[in-house]
Chain A
């Protein structure tokens, strides 16, 4: 399978890249690691006239912590996130999520910024980004803005990014004391994409759940926070029974999508099962 012909640019700076996006508008697509975009271009589901390859812009990859937050450059690969010592200590949920994306070769090339911008409804990161309350930093012709993860994922394959904006980094909070987090996923047996993926961030105090944030991917057209589960968890001492009762609300208020592998009803069921698992694992890690 060969992509349709396109004009190719490899800008050396973010400024140059934004200039190209301004010039070419909707005809242009940004290429980062290419592991979401190239497959759909090969299937000709996407036929951009212009490719702006940001892979050679320096300063867009790497991970650094500054007290309250960890900043991850948009071009940081899943593999680098999986292995980063700072993230493992300060925000292990993101490293745990990166480790179960695709396979080793895919993780060697795919980037967190590219994955977020593509907004595949079965991508893994969105669950973690929502549960963590991450921020997506984007730069465009009018300067830099910070988009909360909760406002970033608009619809299937659609984000709050403007056509002329580029993600430069993503920021996640440092895990607070008494807080545990976990990502649990039912991977599609062939593609490895999340049929259902649930990220839980749970804060425990005196044996009771003080706060909970649950991000769910794969179930609906876009990732979401399972707020009904979160409400049901607060004040509970978390065990099999209480977690299962709360997790039963995992697909409440959303329209579970069905496909050849899993019906909407099965996805909703899986959402409850994996929410319970993620909550209990997160609670056991809360120290």
Chain B
């Protein structure tokens, strides 16, 4: 029996009838057409499917769409506003944070959660923060540089915020 699901994704409200076993990542990709969220390992290891639910990074291959009922979701498509890149996107651009790009959406959304908690992370804290995201190009150094770039930029814009 199908269930009604209402969610807000990147500020836009959606309502659908879904099978309870539909995974959130498939809901986002197949029903909403937002294919920036990738399916990598499909076993909650690689982090390519990472999205933000109510501001927190989660792996959307390991959630049912029905569990997201009422939630506010952000995907990579919602990072830029008014045609202006989010600081984390700028960081990946400036610091060559992507090679093949497959892990990039998940990396960026994980980084957004990380920087919300800790606006001034050490390199080690960044590496621990993205331990749930795998880069198959192994380009981790540039990804770390990209997140540091974004952290500097976001601290500059918002002043010195304190970690939560």
Contact between chains at A106 and B21 (CB < 8 Å):
no
- 8 Å CB contacts to A: which residues of B33-89? 42-45, 47, 50, 56-59, 62-64, 66-67, 69
Contact between chains at A42 and B42 (CB < 8 Å):
yes
- Interface status of B20 (Cβ within 8 A of chain A): yes
Hey, what's the 0/1 contact readout for B122-141 against A, CB within 8 Å counting as 1?
00000001011100000000
Say whether, besides A2-B21, A53-B66, A105-B57, A8 and B3 are in contact (CB < 8 Å).
yes
Contact between chains at B45 and A53 (CB < 8 Å):
no
Q: Which residues of A contact B129 (CB under 8 A)?
A: 104
Contact between chains at B64 and A34 (CB < 8 Å):
yes
- 8 Å CB contacts to A: which residues of B103-120? 110, 113-114
Contact between chains at A103 and B131 (CB < 8 Å):
yes
- Interface status of A55 (Cβ within 8 A of chain B): yes
Contact between chains at A38 and B64 (CB < 8 Å):
yes
Q: Which residues of A contact B157 (CB under 8 A)?
A: none
Contact between chains at B64 and A105 (CB < 8 Å):
no
Contact between chains at B3 and A34 (CB < 8 Å):
no
- 8 Å CB contacts to B: which residues of A1-30? 1-8, 10
Minimum Cβ distance to chain B for residue A245 (Å): 34
Contact between chains at A104 and B131 (CB < 8 Å):
yes
Which of B1, B47, B67 sits near A34, CB closer than 8 Å? B67
Which of A3, A8, A35, A104 sits near B44, CB closer than 8 Å? A35
Contact between chains at B21 and A34 (CB < 8 Å):
no
Smallest CB gap from A191: residue in B: B45
Which of B21, B50, B64, B132 sits near A102, CB closer than 8 Å? B132
Q: Which residues of B contact A109 (CB under 8 A)?
A: 58-59, 62-63
Minimum Cβ distance to chain B for residue A93 (Å): 20
How many chain-B residues does the 8 Å CB contact rule pick out? 30
Q: Which residues of B contact A192 (CB under 8 A)?
A: 131
- Interface status of A260 (Cβ within 8 A of chain B): no
- Interface status of B17 (Cβ within 8 A of chain A): no
Hey, what's the 0/1 contact readout for A97-126 against B, CB within 8 Å counting as 1?
000001111101100000000000000000
Contact between chains at B43 and A7 (CB < 8 Å):
no
Contact between chains at A105 and B45 (CB < 8 Å):
no
Contact between chains at A8 and B66 (CB < 8 Å):
yes
Minimum Cβ distance to chain B for residue A58 (Å): 13
Say whether, besides A8-B66, A35-B62, A105 and B50 are in contact (CB < 8 Å).
yes
Q: Which 7 A-B pairs have the closest CB atoms?
A: A103-B132, A8-B20, A108-B56, A3-B21, A105-B132, A103-B131, A105-B59
Residues of B with Cβ closer than 8 Å to A? 1, 3, 19-21, 23, 42-45, 47, 50, 56-59, 62-64, 66-67, 69, 110, 113-114, 129, 131-133, 164
Other than the given A34-B67, A104-B57, A109-B63, 14 more pairs (CB < 8 A) read A7-B20, A8-B66, A38-B62, A83-B164, A102-B132, A103-B131, A103-B133, A104-B131, A104-B132, A105-B57, A105-B59, A105-B110, A108-B57, A191-B45
